[in-house]
Amino acid sequence: MLKPAHLAITVILGLASLGLGLWLFDQTAVEEPARGYPKLGGEFTLDSSTGPVSLKDFRGKIVALYFGYTHCPDICPTSLIAMSQAFKQLPPDEAGQVQGLFISVDPERDTLDRLAEYAGYFHPAILGITGDLEQIQEITKRYGVFFQKVNMENSNMNYAVDHSSTIFILDRNGIIQDFVRHSDSPDAIHAALKENLSR
Amino acid sequence: MITLRNLSVLFVLTLAVSLPALGGGAADEVMVEDPWAREVPPVMSTSAGFLTLNNTGSTEHKLVAARTEAAGMVELHTHINDNGVMRMRQVENIPVAPGSSARLEPGGLHLMLMMLKAPLVAGEHITITLEFEDGSTRDVQAEVRKHHMPKSSHH
């Protein structure tokens, strides 16, 4: 026969394990979808010189994504060189698991061929893509990227494009995990790539 | 590792490539350090030039213009980092206070080299003529580089 003391212990242990189970369940339920920024960014399909390119084409790879334009003389080359250096610092087995994407916010001047040549110059794993202005506006809005054409008075430049200079690091499922602020150093990009490659 | 000796050699070399001023005046008092231009993909017709201006005089000087055979036009530009948004703007001149320096470097002030006549290739040098507020000029030999090599990060 079960003594009251035994019963009490059994009930307590039972409740404790139920509590632990619920707590563990809660932890996984809360933490899994919360990693990264699943509500920002998201899917897109744009054009490249070799045909349409979708973000989902790179499932299983870590994607470094940057928005810019090819007439940008300093900021974009600085960012893309940093990205390229970060790629080159990876060991061969990891280098094949990263993809760079350069989305032009200046489709008016950036033809697909021009973009391909531009992006490929920095690193063969960086792809230059763009679309029509409405598509670019819709995508940049989702990624929280600002861009604005600015007429350069008294300048021969015609116009420049003000734009956010951030490199987005997306995990193997295309979810934003890191925002790397403008820098001429590859260190932060490299660290973010490594972090995501290890998952 | 960079030693003090290397640094001083570098400094002397840098001064050596800053050819003597043609017009005297401001150009005599503004020393130019580490001039370089960025190699860009051949598809690009614009690039940027960078350098540091050191004003050794006792009055303010201003860089008002620049030109080079390598580009059809050179403009003075800056970048304003507005909370992560990079806004490039043309500036009329770049002032250098006496005893002080002005750094033209990636992400900030730069010489915008427009209408490049040929692709800039790393290792080559281009001559850039700097013009100051009194019309005096100084020629510098800017090395074409793939990217910035800050002295502090040399290993």
List pLDDT tens digits, range B52-96. 999 999 999 999 999 999 999 999 999 999 988 999 999 999 999
> Is residue B103 predicted with pLDDT exceeding 50?
yes
Alpha carbon distance B74, B142 (integer Å) = 14
Contact residues, chain B, for A157 at CB < 8 Å: 46, 75, 90, 112, 114
Q: For residue B40, what is the nearest residue in chain A, using CA coordinates?
A: A77
> Is residue B6 predicted with pLDDT exceeding 90?
no
Q: For residue B38, what is the nearest residue in chain A, using CA coordinates?
A: A74
3-class secondary structure per residue, B14-69: HHHHECCCCCCCHHHHEEEEEEEEECCCCCCCCEEEEEEEEECCCCCEEEEEEEEC
Which of A57-61, A153-157, A160-164, A182-186 shows the lowest mean pLDDT across its residues?
A153-157
Note whether A67 and A147 are within 8 A (CB).
Answer: yes
Q: Label the pairing between strands B101-104 and B47-55.
A: antiparallel
> Is residue B12 predicted with pLDDT exceeding 60?
no
Alpha carbon distance A79, A85 (integer Å) = 10
Contact residues, chain A, for B106 at CB < 8 Å: 74, 78, 184
Residue B13's pLDDT band, with cuts at 50, 70 and 90, is: low
Average pLDDT of the residues in A69-93: 94
Query: Average per-residue pLDDT in chain B?
Result: 86
Which of A190-194, B19-23, B129-133, B144-148 shows the lowest mean pLDDT across its residues?
B19-23
Note whether A97 and A59 are within 8 A (CB).
Answer: no
Alpha carbon distance B30, B96 (integer Å) = 9
pLDDT of residue B155: 37
> Is residue A30 predicted with pLDDT exceeding 60?
no
Alpha carbon distance B37, B113 (integer Å) = 9
Inter-chain contact A74–B106, Cβ cutoff 8 Å? yes
pLDDT of residue A9: 64
Inter-chain contact B107–A78, Cβ cutoff 8 Å? yes
Which of A27-36, A47-56, B122-131, B136-145 shows the lowest mean pLDDT across its residues?
A27-36
Inter-chain contact A73–B48, Cβ cutoff 8 Å? yes
Query: Does A90 contact chain B (CB < 8 Å)?
Result: no
Residue A152's pLDDT band, with cuts at 50, 70 and 90, is: confident
B41-60 pLDDT per residue, tens: 999 999 999 999 999 999 99
Residue of A74, A143, A156 for testing the chain B interface, max B β-carbons within 10 Å = A74
How many Cβ contacts (< 8 angstroms) between chains A and B?
91
User: Above 0.90 for ipTM, yes or no?
Assistant: no
Distance from CA of A184 to the nearest CA of B (A): 8
Which of A93-102, A156-165, A183-192, B22-31 shows the lowest mean pLDDT across its residues?
B22-31
